[in-house]
Amino acid sequence: MKLNLLNNLWPANKPAYKNHNQNSDQIPVSLGKYQYTDKQANTHILEINSTDNFKIDRHPLTVRMQQAIQNKLVFVDNFGYKIEIKTNAGQPVKFYDESTNSTYDLSAAY
């Protein structure tokens, strides 16, 4: 899936929607690398490549978009666990991992 990196920001005037099995080239979040720190003070990199391809610390994680609303994306991984990305103006700011029942603050990774 080829994505235009300049067109991935969620338009402020676009209404919220639910989308199951999204196949669009546009997602309401900026693609890129984001970092978070776990409870053991380890820093990890979450890389958002597309609506069905994430990487955590360079390890691929296949996900399926379950829901997209204006400030939150909900994905399901191959094991059935939910992964939520909360956004602010299209930028990921929070990452929830149901498998560990943990929420992390996200910041841009350089």
The predicted model scores a pTM of: 0.70
Residue 104 lies in a domain: yes
Residue 70 lies in a domain: yes
pLDDT confidence of 81, banded at 50, 70, 90?
Answer: very high
Residue 62 lies in a domain: yes
Task: Identify the domain containing residue 38 by its residue range.
Answer: 30-108
Question: How far is Cα 91 from Cα 86, in angstroms, rounded to an integer?
Answer: 8
Residue 71 lies in a domain: yes
What is the spatial order of strands in the sheet that 107-108 belongs to?
Answer: 102-105, 91-97, 82-88, 72-77, 59-69, 53-56, 43-50, 32-37, 107-108
pLDDT tens digits along 48-79:
888 778 999 999 988 999 998 889 999 999 99
Residue 43 lies in a domain: yes
pLDDT confidence of 8, banded at 50, 70, 90?
Answer: very low
Q: What is the mean pLDDT of the chain?
A: 78
Q: How many domains does the chain have?
A: 1
